[in-house]
A and B are shown apart, each in its own frame.
Chain A
Amino acid sequence: MRRALHILAANPLTLTGAVLVLLVVLAALLADVVAPYPEHAGAVVDFLNFNKPPSAEHLFGTDLVGRDLFSRVLFAYRISLLLGVVVLVISVPVGVTLGLMAGYLGGRREYVLMRITDVFLSIPPLVLAMSIMGVLPPTLLNGMLAVTAMWWPWYTRLVYNIVRGEKVEGYVLAAEIIGASKWHIMFREILPNCVPAVVTKITLDFGFVILIVSSLSFLGLGVQPPTPDLGSMVAEGARYLPDSWWLAVFPGLAILVAVFGFNLVGDGLRDILGAEQ
């Protein structure tokens, strides 16, 4: 732990990332308290103040129906982080388990699992999510499902490749020889050796999930109004560029800050945990 703090301090980029992530998480958690106009997260109209440029009163300006953009960005973070957590909480265990099974058990199971994974990986992620969203009604839950469906194969592939390397290590053979069960070897012996790489990927992916969800919303397939979402805010604002620039620029910057922060932390973790993947 002390070593981790030391590396963190010696690495200003990771520290920057950690601060950004902390800010984003705090903004999302404390949105009710911090936001100057919490009621603006919903379907509120204030036509007296519509489309105002940034000012002391409205830090990021107001949107086309007069809602405070700053407040909406804070609430949008909440949705983005929730999506990120849900997607990863489902896809990581699924992907990791399948990767362990394919890599360790081998044989027919390996072949079937990895070919299914390859099929998923061969479809461009956004296209896959879009086609799922095209079939299902565009609700938040379906958005999560669509992104989850395209996310697990990356973990399967990552873990599979690590397991292939670890499987030939002496400690695996030693465990087989003392009569350890397959499940024990997969989850107790090999999995802990995959943790650094998986944790690093989770951190990096958090930014990407936010980005993908924003992309889906940008295309009108993700989070539906009036729920604030960074992607749909950018999409809507883009139509009024360059005159009402704040409509697109501030939500866009918000996406940048979150993704950038998570990526910096991910890079730092890779160094701290010594993962090579």
Chain B
Amino acid sequence: MTLLSIRDLKLTFRLWSGPVEVLHGISLAIGKGERVALVGESGSGKSVTARIILGLLQEQRNARISGTVEFEGRDLARLSARERMSMRGRAMSMIFQDPTSSLNPVYRIGPQFREVLDRGSPGISAAEARARAAQMLAEVSIREPDRVLDSYPFQLSGGMNQRVMIAMALANRPALLLADEPGTALDVTVQAQTLDLMRGLVADHGTAVLFISHNLGVVREFADRTYVIYRGRIVESGPTAAVFGDPRHAYTRALMAAQPRLTGGGLPDIPERDPAFDAPAIHHAAGGAA
């Protein structure tokens, strides 16, 4: 069952200096409860794709979007700005690189959590919101939910804030969670712990995840299927094991080769452009996945 389906998505920004095409026809699908990774280097178009799925770029005047983005069978382009807004924070939510800056520094965690819950169940009482928040925080292995709810974001560690963000993102039981390089701002062990936690939670809740990252190691462990994106084009896709085990596109190979290894040895430079990178996309036959 397909939850999100993107077909031939193109994005152009109209700038003073003329139009710039950022996405050149991306197709991507995520099934219910599936964990899908979108891998590519900075500037390849990962984050704008997420913003289109959330319906945020559609409201930007200088952005031209063509192709279809269907979420739960509804074409986002046909929805009004209001309908798109009502989907955000309920049917889909997102977590970011830097958890601490994602929380407003002037409010305690408690009230911020309540606002998130209020999106899902409007008019929720303060006491009920607090109880639900504490329960959600317990699910992300926070031992003293009350202390955390009474703290300001800057009083908590980055790992703690990351868990709070995950708890908030899943609080309204969204069907789709967009994770934009989650935890890149954290140290590696904390990042690994929170990813483990997140994997467990999304499995419990049946939430589908679009995991946006340039960290191949993390993607390999986390995702069921992987899309490799290069300069606004999908160059390779398929089950994670197939893409990683048998990378066939020149760009995917270059990306894999650029991973630091424990055994040492220098990193090869990925050239900015290479004719081989513009070769047609390769789709691994799905062993079970769509």
Contact = CB atoms under 8 A, between A and B. Distances in A.
Contact of A193 (B85, B94, B104): B104
Contacts of A175: 104
B104 A179 contact: no
A170 B86 contact: no
A179 B89 contact: yes
Nearest to B89: A178
B167 interface: no
Interface stretch (B95-103, B215-223, B260-268): B95-103
Contacts of A271: none
Question: Counting chain B CB atoms within 10 Å of each CB, which of A170, A176, A192 scores highest?
Answer: A170
B106 A177 contact: no
Contacts of B283: none
A181 B81 CA distance: 11
A178 B119 contact: yes
Interface size class of B (residues with CB under 8 A): 20 to 34
Contacts of A179: 85-90, 119
Interface in B51-68: 54, 56, 61
Given A178-B88, A178-B89, A173 B102 contact: yes
A181 B119 CA distance: 11
Question: Counting chain A CB atoms within 10 Å of each CB, which of B86, B102, B107 scores highest?
Answer: B102
B200 interface: no
A266 B100 CA distance: 30
B101 A171 contact: yes
Interface string A246-267: 0000000000000000000000
A176 B102 CA distance: 11
B185 to A, nearest CB: 10
Interface in B103-126: 103-107, 115-116, 119
Nearest to A184: B115
B102 A192 contact: no
A107 interface: yes
A175 to B, nearest CB: 8
A265 to B, nearest CB: 22
B105 A193 contact: yes
A192 B107 contact: yes
Contacts of B252: none
Contact of A174 (B85, B86, B96, B107): B96
Interface in A158-190: 169-171, 173-181, 189
B213 interface: no
A176 B84 CA distance: 11
Interface in B134-183: 165
Nearest to A176: B56
Interface in A203-256: none
Task: Say whether chain A's binding surface is mostly helix, strand, loop, or mixed.
Answer: helix
Given A189-B104, A192-B104, A192-B106, A177 B56 contact: yes
A170 B98 CA distance: 7
Contacts of B100: 170
A169 B116 CA distance: 18
A174 B90 CA distance: 13
A145 to B, nearest CB: 34
B161 to A, nearest CB: 10
B93 interface: yes
A169 B106 CA distance: 13
B93 A170 contact: no
A174 B102 CA distance: 6
Interface string A35-46: 000000000000
B93 A177 contact: yes
A170 B102 contact: yes
A179 B84 CA distance: 9
B93 A178 contact: yes
Interface in B9-64: 54, 56, 61
A174 B116 CA distance: 10
Contact of A173 (B96, B106, B116): B96
A180 B116 CA distance: 9
A173 B104 CA distance: 11
A66 B104 CA distance: 61
A107 B88 contact: no
A42 B104 CA distance: 53
Given A177-B54, A178-B116, A192-B107, A170 B88 contact: no
Contacts of B105: 171, 193
Contacts of B115: 178, 180
30 contacts: A107-B61, A169-B101, A170-B102, A171-B104, A173-B96, A173-B102, A174-B94, A174-B103, A174-B165, A175-B104, A176-B56, A177-B54, A177-B56, A177-B94, A178-B89, A178-B93, A178-B115, A178-B116, A178-B119, A179-B85, A179-B86, A179-B87, A179-B89, A179-B90, A179-B119, A181-B85, A192-B106, A192-B107, A193-B104, A195-B106
Given A177-B89, A179-B88, A193-B104, 5 more contacts: A170-B102, A176-B56, A177-B56, A177-B93, A193-B105
Interface of B: 54, 56, 61, 85-90, 93-94, 96-98, 100-107, 115-116, 119, 165
Nearest first, the 7 A-B pairs at minimum CB distance are A178-B89, A170-B101, A170-B102, A179-B88, A179-B89, A192-B106, A171-B104
